[in-house]
Amino acid sequence: MMEILLDPTMLSDFLSTSLRLSIPIVFAALGGVLSERAGVYNIGLEGMMLAGAFGAAVGTFFTGEPFFGVISGMFAGALTAVVLAILAVSLGVNQIVAGIAINMFSIGVTAFLSRIVFSGQANTMTLPGYKAFAIPGLVAIPVIGPVLFQQDALVYLMYATVLLLFYLMFYTPWGLNIRAVGENPRAADTAGVRVNMVRYICVLGSGALAGLGGCYLVLSHVFLFSEHMSAGKGFIALAAIILGRWNPVGALFACLLFGLFDALQLRLQFANPEVPYQAFVILPYVVSILALVGLIGKPRPPGAVGLPYRREGK
Amino acid sequence: MEHHLVVDCVTKTFGDLKANDAVSLHARKGSVHAVLGENGAGKTTLMNILYGLYHPDAGRILIGGREIAIDNPRDALTHGIGMVHQHFMLIGPLTVTENVILGLEQSGLRLGLSEHAERLIELSQSFGFDIEPSEPVWNLPMGMQQRVEILKLLHRNADILILDEPTSVLTPSETGPFFEVLSRLKEAGKTILFITHKLEEVMAVADDVTVMRDGRVTAELKTSETNPRELARLMVGRDVVFDISRPQGHFGDAKLTVEGLRARNDRGLPGLDDVGFEVRAGEILGIAGVDGNGQAELAEVIAGLRPIEAGRILVGGADATQASVAERKHGFKIGYVPEDRQVVGLDLNHSVAFNLILRSLGRLPFSRFGILDFKAIRAHAERLVERYDVRLQGVDQEARFLSGGNQQKVILAREIEDDPEVLIVAQPCKGLDVGAIEFVQNTLLKQREKGVAILYISTELEHIMAICDRIAVMSRGRITGILAPEEATPERLGMLMAGATADAA
Amino acid sequence: MLAALRAVYLLKGVWAILAALLVGSILIRLGDSNPIEAYQALFTGAFFEYHGFATTLVKMSPMLLAGLAVALPLRAGQFNIGAEGQIYLGALFATWAALYLPDVLPGWLHIIICSLAGMIGGGLWGLIPGYLKAVHNVNEVIVTLLMNYIGINLVSYFVSGPMLAEGAPYPYSDEIREALWLPYILPGTDAHLGVVIGIIFAIVLYYVFKRTSVGLSLATVGHNPAAARYAGMSVRRHIILSLVLGGALAGLAGTYEVLGLKYRLFHMFSAGYGFDGIVVALLAEGNPLLVAAAALFLGGLRSGANIMQRAVGVPTTAVEAIQGLVVIFVAASVAFRYESSYLAAAWRRRKVMDAALAAERREAQDKAEEAKQP
């Protein structure tokens, strides 16, 4: 294993794999940051990611254009998020319950619809997707260059999204409203912020972002849709949100950490064919839990996360 | 005289309760108009209507003679009405500037923090506030947070300011400067609605006063034409003589002794700093102080709910420092009436009968080998409900449906029926009406006669003066002095609350 | 009238299920089948045919135990999303006890030991999130979620490595000896004793919740941890206890999948029963007796799905989607309470108005009488 660290090409290769493996989690985690900052737990990230993957596959299948796949994937994610918004924001249903409901529905409905839409060939066909291209100049940076700048369009979109979300959250009136609503909705309400509208938009945005994660799975990873292909990535994203302290940039780094361990376990599998691969598959999950336990200092979630907001009286 | 703000026959009902019943009020421009009333008189409901948080069932609101509709706080602000809530509507982790500009701009790509900060500094200087705009508000003392709230309104050009019980969070030394702020605001032409239940404050700063009782207005007067006695009668509905007879006490030996107590508060900061005192059998020791100066931590440490970092707690000479909550309750006989009766003192989702054995759940005679004896539990509940005159439909009724006074009776009944030797009572009269307050205080005095050592924590000086044998004052986690009632003038107490030690005061 | 209205609200779970079936019928239409025929095939097959009903019971057994595994921690306010992983660990431990303990004991005693081993396995998988939550304040939702994947892969590892049966074409363990097979309850079918044991546990748990001090302490911790501490209960201990016992129940579900149905430990043997347990507990609003009823319903949905697929050609995944719909609608229905409904509010207003009218009538009468007396 050590030779990876010494050989620049192998190291680049390894880090590049890590980055690619973390992309779907990054998008989902960004979605989670957005909705949790506004005060809504999103356990449904997994289901939204899956819906996004399905949407991407359907969109690309019918148009032949990955771009439309991305659009329909984000739309499918957001559509699933509408359910969470209605349940959690309007009806005040327990947000964990609502999220679980969404995951189950999404797993069932995408499996069902994929059989109808792709009529059995879902596992055999190959969809068009995104291919890596180098960004001239930047790619020449040793080791890091090929890792960061020899990727496909969705990865570059991820960089932009992280920065955009960071700026939105901390430097715009919108971000201020979001943070206020997630921290103390009553105070935000009295200051004239439309609490539930902000929450709706954030939950929908969260669904679209998680959907993007699903798009990446389909359009850059495997080029087909398979049942429950999100395989728990949405749940790892939940851990990444906490680890990244509800900050888009922090969440990015947490996800990169998980991607690193995912790449590591793949390499370990490959290097140790005599050991059943499952021994290594659990690595990212174990790391997620250990990271949550070993967190330095207590992370402080947004003050009102999980609590529905109602004006009293009326 | 042109009235700036007129409330005309506003009515608001919650279920069967008429919180506001044809309430009217007339405030002049550039004046301080007090709204005086007890807890539950309907003051806060009225203010929430003015601020658009509630919709009135009937009645009109006029500004400058024109009728307006206020559907939400945004509407209120566009009409120039701003409100400082009793519990500040500030968002802790955000900075002063962020708090002030929250909700001002709903769109746009940038916050313009620095421009706003400049305007804030200007504004705060013109009113003599001294505020650092980039500080997160949870780092500020309460007096400063209140100024942030006022700045919020000024920055929005509000000219009617509603202040809900603004002095309740201030130390006596902060109250003076606050009154100065009020007069500066008045000079600047702002109309101030000052909601309070404290007569002295009305007399000190208000130009006019509207007195409320049971959701109705009992009078609207000029303060120059009235006196505290008349206001008290209008507020309470009869001459206020607390029906509490405090006989001479018979003090025994020290029953509760605490030495060198140290503990941390919920934010992990030092909450108690070397606290020591003793309470004798048959004595009521009052703990006075502004809310949040370590009183809550003190009560929790003695009851065993908060870890202790240093010091000792002795009950009748026996060391209870390491004892568990249950051992303190049942072994050392420490009764505890917590401040938050709805969240700590009771489990509102459970029946009154269950709540009456909440702290004896696994014990005889209510439970044998872990199996509950509902007959015994019921009989116990019915006996206590009768003895303490708890008003309810039945002992199976959920505790949430009881009024505050009756909830407090349930807690008192439970804590007193176990024949405590020490009783810790935290803010027992908060939010209760006069009748319930009398009941609570008389009950405590009866325990005093029986020789129970009582620690009585309250932020209401009148209550403390009425029933305590000695008064300890807390400030920033320390006991700054212990006084006899006759030594305890408001000035001395005020200095102690502000942190001066007894020698200096 | 009022009672009828209240009943309508009490039956909201039923309405939610009907609504879900209605929306589900659109899905079935999308698959080019007739929803009425499909549902008819599903429900007749699942509940009114001997073999179909037996299959329903087979599916109900793990769902019921997993439902209790979710309902118990829920009592203490803990969301156990990890029943699936606990099922796997329970099955792993039970299989180990069945295969590798010397077979000197009589069958029934060995079955009990296997059950205990399964409960220990599941309990262990509940202990970890319980301990992390209670002591380190780590969100139990996320930990239990992630531990599912660890549990599933752990079993996969054992059955494709150390426990792999000789010459197996697929990762599974050796078969356990016949003396350890759970007795059948319906002759000629797969329906085994697991479902009876599950029902016994449901009744016991119901009794514990209602009539014991532990049950009420758990509820106090769940409703109001501050009051629980004040009452002298250890919140930590109750949280850990609830998740350990929940895990043990899920472990038992896994145990009986092996001892009652599969007789081997398979890679990926549980068809998401742990997640079904969440649905079941939710449908039942945490009431153990209703958990049994909900598990019966959901078990029927699952066994009927196969029958439906054979009879009408609707893929079984449709039922998974419908199950998701059931959860969504049931979750939404929780928000509709009679007390806060518009109708109830209107009714209360009427009562107030009646009282006001009565008062005015009295006043009017008094005035009239005064007028009469000069």
Number of neighbouring beta carbons within 10 Å of residue A306 = 14
Residue B111 within a domain: yes
Where in chain C are the domains?
60-306, 340-374
Is CATH 1.10.287 the classification given to domain C60-306?
A: no
Instruction: Nearest chain A residue to B84 by CA: give it.
Output: A190
Which amino acid is residue A177, in one-letter code?
N
Six-digit token string for C204: 């016991």
- The values of phi and psi at residue B423, to 5°, are -130, 120
Q: Please, where are the H alpha helices in C137-272?
A: 140-160, 194-211, 213-223, 225-230, 235-257
Six-digit token string for B369: 């080998």
**What is the per-residue pLDDT for C346?**
61
B78 touches chain A (CB under 8 A): no
| Cα–Cα nearest to B302, from B484, B120, B136, B453 | B453
Burial class (CB in 10 A: 0-12, 13-18, 19+), B314: middle
Across the interface, of A104, A279, A288, the residue whose CB is closest to C323 is A104
Kindly report the nearest CA distance between residue B104 and chain A, in angstroms: 8
pLDDT tens, residue by residue, B436-490: 888 888 889 989 989 999 999 988 877 888 888 999 999 888 899 898 888 887 7
Instruction: Nearest chain B residue to A194 by CA: give it.
Output: B103
**What is the per-residue pLDDT for A300?**
81
CB contact under 8 A, C232 and B354: no
Instruction: Nearest chain C residue to B17 by CA: give it.
Output: C352
pLDDT tens, residue by residue, C185-241: 988 898 999 999 999 999 999 999 999 999 999 999 988 888 999 998 889 999 999
Same domain, residue pair B221 and B298: no
SS3 call for B40:
coil
Same domain, residue pair B183 and B265: no
B346 touches chain C (CB under 8 A): yes
Number of neighbouring beta carbons within 10 Å of residue C56 = 26
Same domain, residue pair B66 and B101: yes
Q: In angstroms, rounded to a whole number, what is the distance separating the alpha carbons of residues B172 and B179?
A: 11
Q: Token pair 């020698």 is at which residue?
A: B503
B342 touches chain C (CB under 8 A): no
Mean pLDDT of A227-240: 89
**What is the per-residue pLDDT for A212?**
96
Q: In angstroms, rounded to a whole number, what is the distance separating the alpha carbons of residues B362 and C359?
A: 50
SS3 call for B108:
coil
> Band of the pLDDT at C106, cuts 50, 70, 90?
confident
Across the interface, of A105, A276, A281, the residue whose CB is closest to C161 is A276
Mean pLDDT of B88-107: 84
Residues of A whose CB is below 8 A from B85: 190
Kindly report the nearest CA distance between residue B399 and chain A, in angstroms: 21
User: Are B30 and B190 spatial neighbours (Cβ–Cβ below 8 Å)?
Assistant: yes
Residues of B whose CB is below 8 A from A313: 12, 14, 45, 48, 53-55
Indicate whether B120 pLDDT > 50. Answer: yes
Residues of B whose CB is below 8 A from C236: none
Concatenating the DSSP letter of every residue in A93-142 gives: --HHHHHHHHHHHHHHHHHHHHHHHHTT-TTT--------EE-TTGGGST
Residue B426 within a domain: yes
User: Are C43 and C304 spatial neighbours (Cβ–Cβ below 8 Å)?
Assistant: yes
Across the interface, of C213, C219, C226, the residue whose CB is closest to B344 is C226
**What is the per-residue pLDDT for B462?**
78
Residue B461 within a domain: yes
- Label residues A142-169 b or e (16+ Cβ within 10 Å = b): eeebbbbbbbbbbbebbeebbeebbebb
What percent of chain A is predicted at pLDDT more than 90?
A: 51
Residue B397 within a domain: no
B80 touches chain A (CB under 8 A): no
CB contact under 8 A, A278 and C156: yes
Beta-carbon pairs below 8 A across chains A and C:
135
pLDDT tens, residue by residue, A117-135: 887 665 667 888 888 888 8
Which domain does B213 fall in, by range?
3-236
What's the 3-state SS for B159-201?
CEEEEECHHHHCCHHHHHHHHHHHHHHHHCCCEEEEEECCHHH
Strand partners for B67: B62
More confident site: C356 or C108 = C108
Across the interface, of A176, A187, A314, the residue whose CB is closest to B54 is A314
At B321, which CATH number? Answer: 3.40.50.300
Max CA-CA distance within chain B? 76
Indicate whether C335 pLDDT > 80. Answer: no
Residues of B whose CB is below 8 A from C223: 347-350
B158 touches chain A (CB under 8 A): no
Concatenating the DSSP letter of every residue in C29-54 gives: HHTTS-HHHHHHHHHHHHHSSHHHHH
Burial class (CB in 10 A: 0-12, 13-18, 19+), C245: buried
Six-digit token string for B318: 């026996």
Across the interface, of B325, B338, B349, the residue whose CB is closest to C223 is B349
Indicate whether B2 pLDDT > 80. Answer: no
Mean pLDDT of A104-128: 82
pLDDT tens, residue by residue, B177-221: 888 888 888 888 899 999 987 777 888 889 999 999 888 898 898
Residues of B whose CB is below 8 A from A189: 73
Same domain, residue pair B231 and B260: no
Instruction: Nearest chain A residue to C134 by CA: give it.
Output: A293
Angle at B107 between CA B105 and CA B111, to 5 degrees: 60
Q: In angstroms, rounded to a whole number, what is the distance separating the alpha carbons of residues A293 and C131?
A: 11
Which amino acid is residue B228, in one-letter code?
P
Strand partners for B14: B17
CB contact under 8 A, B305 and C211: no
Burial class (CB in 10 A: 0-12, 13-18, 19+), B135: middle
Q: In angstroms, rounded to a whole number, what is the distance separating the alpha carbons of residues A123 and A223?
A: 10
CB contact under 8 A, A193 and B103: yes
pLDDT tens, residue by residue, B5-52: 898 889 988 776 788 888 999 999 889 999 988 777 888 888 888 988
Indicate whether A177 pLDDT > 90. Answer: yes
Strand partners for B11: B58
Residues of C whose CB is below 8 A from A105: 321, 324-325, 327-328
Q: Residue C112: which residues within 8 A CB-CB, separation 6 or more?
A: none
The average confidence (pLDDT) of chain B is 85
Residues of A whose CB is below 8 A from C130: none
Number of independent structural domains in chain B: 2
CB contact under 8 A, B89 and A312: no
Mean pLDDT of B272-278: 91
The packing angle between helices B172-187 and B490-497, to 10°, is 100
Across the interface, of A172, A186, A190, the residue whose CB is closest to B110 is A172
Kindly report the nearest CA distance between residue A305 and chain B, in angstroms: 14
Residues of A whose CB is below 8 A from C317: 108, 111-112, 115, 227
Mean pLDDT of A201-205: 97
Chains touching A (3+ CB pairs < 8 Å): B, C
Six-digit token string for C157: 């590892």
Kindly report the nearest CA distance between residue C15 and chain A, in angstroms: 17
Q: Residue B376: which residues within 8 A CB-CB, separation 6 or more?
A: B365, B366
Strand partners for B481: B473
Angle at A287 between CA A284 and CA A289, to 5 degrees: 115
CB contact under 8 A, C142 and A238: yes
Beta-carbon pairs below 8 A across chains B and C:
70
* Domain termination site, one of B236, B271, B294: B236
Q: How far is CA C156 from CA B288, B320, B429, C78, C119, in A?
A: 65, 53, 62, 28, 19
Chains touching C (3+ CB pairs < 8 Å): A, B
DSSP code, position A220: I
Angle at B130 between CA B126 and CA B133, to 5 degrees: 100
Same domain, residue pair B230 and B258: no
> Band of the pLDDT at C347, cuts 50, 70, 90?
low
> Band of the pLDDT at C339, cuts 50, 70, 90?
low
Residue B401 within a domain: no
Q: Mutating which of A25, A82, A289 best tests the C interface, going by the most C Cβ atoms within 10 A?
A: A289
> What Rg value do the Cα atoms of chain C yield, rounded?
26
Same domain, residue pair B136 and B268: no
- Is the bond leading into B228 cis (omega within 30 degrees of zero)? no
A96 touches chain C (CB under 8 A): yes
B51 touches chain A (CB under 8 A): yes
Residues of C whose CB is below 8 A from A116: 30-31
Kindly report the nearest CA distance between residue A174 and chain C, in angstroms: 29
Which amino acid is residue B96, in one-letter code?
V
More confident site: C373 or A199 = A199
Which amino acid is residue B284, in one-letter code?
I
Indicate whether A312 pLDDT > 70. Answer: no
Q: Mutating which of B352, B358, B398, B415 best tests the C interface, going by the most C Cβ atoms within 10 A?
A: B358
**What is the per-residue pLDDT for A314?**
40
Q: Token pair 């501050």 is at which residue?
A: C226
User: Are B432 and B440 spatial neighbours (Cβ–Cβ below 8 Å)?
Assistant: yes
Concatenating the DSSP letter of every residue in C79-143 gives: ----HHHHHHHHHHHHHHHHHHS-TTS-HHHHHHHHHHHHHHHHHHHHHHHHHHHHHH---HHHH
CB contact under 8 A, B367 and C220: no
Burial class (CB in 10 A: 0-12, 13-18, 19+), B293: buried
Q: In angstroms, rounded to a whole number, what is the distance separating the alpha carbons of residues A197 and A209?
A: 18
Same domain, residue pair B295 and B206: no
Q: How far is CA A231 from CA A50, A236, C209, in A?
A: 9, 10, 36
Q: In angstroms, rounded to a whole number, what is the distance separating the alpha carbons of residues B57 and C220?
A: 38
> Band of the pLDDT at B245, cuts 50, 70, 90?
low
The packing angle between helices C317-334 and C288-312, to 10°, is 150
Which amino acid is residue A34, in one-letter code?
L
Kindly report the nearest CA distance between residue C342 and chain B, in angstroms: 13
Kindly report the nearest CA distance between residue C362 and chain A, in angstroms: 31
Six-digit token string for A10: 């192998």
Same domain, residue pair B40 and B168: yes
Residues of C with CB under 8 A from a CB of B: 211-214, 216-217, 219-220, 223-224, 226-233, 348, 352
CB contact under 8 A, A191 and B102: yes
Six-digit token string for A245: 């302290």
Q: Residue B42: which residues within 8 A CB-CB, separation 6 or more?
A: B19, B20, B21, B23, B212, B214, B215, B216
Please give the domain boundaries of chain A with CATH numbers for all domains: 3-293 (1.10.3470)
Indicate whether A313 pLDDT > 60. Answer: no
**What is the per-residue pLDDT for A55?**
96
Highest-pLDDT range among A44-48, A288-292, B412-416, C161-165:
A44-48
Same domain, residue pair B156 and B274: no
Burial class (CB in 10 A: 0-12, 13-18, 19+), B266: exposed
> What Rg value do the Cα atoms of chain A yield, rounded?
20
> Band of the pLDDT at A297, cuts 50, 70, 90?
low
| Cα–Cα nearest to A22, from A194, A243, A237, A190 | A237
Sign of CA dihedral A162, A166, A167, A169: positive
Mean pLDDT of A261-272: 89
Which amino acid is residue B290, in one-letter code?
V
- The values of phi and psi at residue A7, to 5°, are -90, 115
Same domain, residue pair B186 and B260: no
ipTM rounded to 2 decimals: 0.83
pLDDT tens, residue by residue, B125-177: 888 788 888 888 888 877 888 889 998 888 888 889 999 888 877 776 778 88
Q: Mutating which of B102, B148, B164 best tests the A interface, going by the most A Cβ atoms within 10 A?
A: B102
C318 touches chain A (CB under 8 A): yes
**What is the per-residue pLDDT for C333?**
83
* Domain termination site, one of B209, B236, B263: B236
> Band of the pLDDT at B505, cuts 50, 70, 90?
very low
What percent of chain B is predicted at pLDDT more than 70?
A: 95
